[in-house]
Homo-oligomer: A and B are copies of this chain.
Amino acid sequence: MNDKLQKYFPDLFSSHAQEIHRLYKQKLEEVAKLQNNCSSAIARQRKKIKEISVSLQEYVPDGDSHSCHASLSIHRERSSAFAEMESFLPKKNGLYLNLVLGNVNVTLLNKQSKFAYKDEYEKFKLVLTVILLLFSFMCRFIFTYRTLDAMFNFLSVWYYCTLTIRESILINNGSRLVVFHHYVSTFLSGVMLTWPEGVLYQMFRNQFLMYCMYQSFVQFLQYYYQSGCLYRLRALGERHNMDLTVEGFQSWMWRGLSFLLPFLFLFWQFYNSITLFKMAQLPNCKEWQVCRDVRLLLPGPLHGNVFTTLGVVYQKYRN
C-alpha cells in the first residue's frame, strides 16, 4: 500500500522538511559554539587590555600624560566595542529574573526584536493604565464595596509585578530603565490589599484612589513622552543619514521632560505620607498596617522615589 501511495503522492515522502531541519540543527550547534568562542575571546581581550593598561601606568614615566591618555582612550573605545558585541550574545539573568524565571535565556538577539519588545511593553503599560484609571474612577465615584477595592488592589499588585519582570528583561537586553519606583508601587499596593476594613481605611481610601487616578494619568502622559523618545531613537538608529539629529532629539527630550517633571513631583507623594503620618498619631489607630508599618516604612520609599527621579534628571543633565 505504501508503495502505491508513494507512487501517486511522491510529495508526501519527500524529505524536504527533514533536510532543512537537519541543516538547521547543524547551524544551531555551530552558532552555540561560536557564541562560546565569542564570549571567551572578549573575556580574554578584556583581561589583556587591563594588564596592558596597568603595565603602561607602571613603566611609563609619570610625566608622560600623553601615553596615559592614549591607554585610557583605547580602554574606553574597546570597552564600548565589547559592550556592543555582547548585546548580541546571550547574557546571564540577574538575580530577580533568575528567581522568577530561572535560567532561561531572554536575550533578544537582534535590534528589531529589541525595539518590538520595548514597543509592546509600552503598549501593555498603556492598556493597563487605562484599565486601572477606569477601575479607580469606578471605585471612587460609583461603587464602594470592599471586595471591589480588593480586586482593584489585586490588579495593581499583578500589574506592578508583571512590569518589574518585563523591565528586568528589558534591562537584560541593555535598556537603562529606572525601575525602583515600580518595586515601591508593588509594595504599596500590597499594603493597601491587606489593610483591614475600618474607620482608618475609609479615611485613607478616597485619597488613595484619587492618588491612583492621578498616577494613571501621569503614566498616560509618560506614555506619549516615552513613545516619542522611542520613535525618535529608532529613527536615529535605523536610518544612517540622520535626518533627525541627536541634538534635535535631546532638545525635544528636554522639552518633554520639563513638561512631565512637575506632574511627577507634585505634592502627592508628600501629601500622602503626611496624611499617613497624621493618621498613625490618631488615638483610635489599632490596625497593624498604619501603626507599625506604614508610619515607619511608607514615607521612606515615597521620598526615595522622588530622589530617584532627581537622580535620573541629574544624570541626563551631566551627559
> A12 with B74: in contact, given A35-B24, A66-B1, A88-B24 (CB under 8 Å)?
yes
- Minimum CB–CB distance from A37 to chain B (whole Å) comes to 5
User: Among B16, B25, B89, which residue has its beta carbon within 8 angstroms of that of A41?
Assistant: B16
Residue A161 at the chain B interface, CB threshold 8 Å: yes
User: Is A165 touching B101 in the complex (CB atoms < 8 A)?
Assistant: yes
Residue A58 at the chain B interface, CB threshold 8 Å: no
- Give the docked Cα–Cα distance between A146 and B286 (Å): 13
Contact with B along A8-46 (1 / 0, CB 8 A): 010110001110110111011011101101100110110
Contact with B along A162-199 (1 / 0, CB 8 A): 10011001000000000000000000001001101100
The 10 closest A-B pairs by CB, nearest first: A196-B196, A17-B41, A24-B34, A1-B70, A21-B85, A20-B38, A27-B31, A102-B120, A24-B38, A104-B106
Question: Interface on A for B, CB 8 Å cutoff?
Answer: 1-2, 5, 9, 11-12, 16-18, 20-21, 23-25, 27-28, 30-32, 34-35, 37-38, 41-42, 44-45, 48-49, 52, 66-67, 70-71, 74, 81-82, 85, 88-89, 99-106, 108-110, 116-117, 120-121, 124, 146-147, 150, 154, 161-162, 165-166, 169, 190, 193-194, 196-197, 288, 292-293
Given contacts A17-B42, A102-B169, A193-B194, 19 further A-B contacts (CB under 8 A): A1-B66, A5-B74, A12-B52, A18-B85, A20-B34, A24-B38, A24-B88, A25-B88, A27-B30, A27-B31, A100-B162, A101-B101, A101-B169, A102-B120, A103-B117, A103-B120, A104-B108, A104-B117, A197-B288
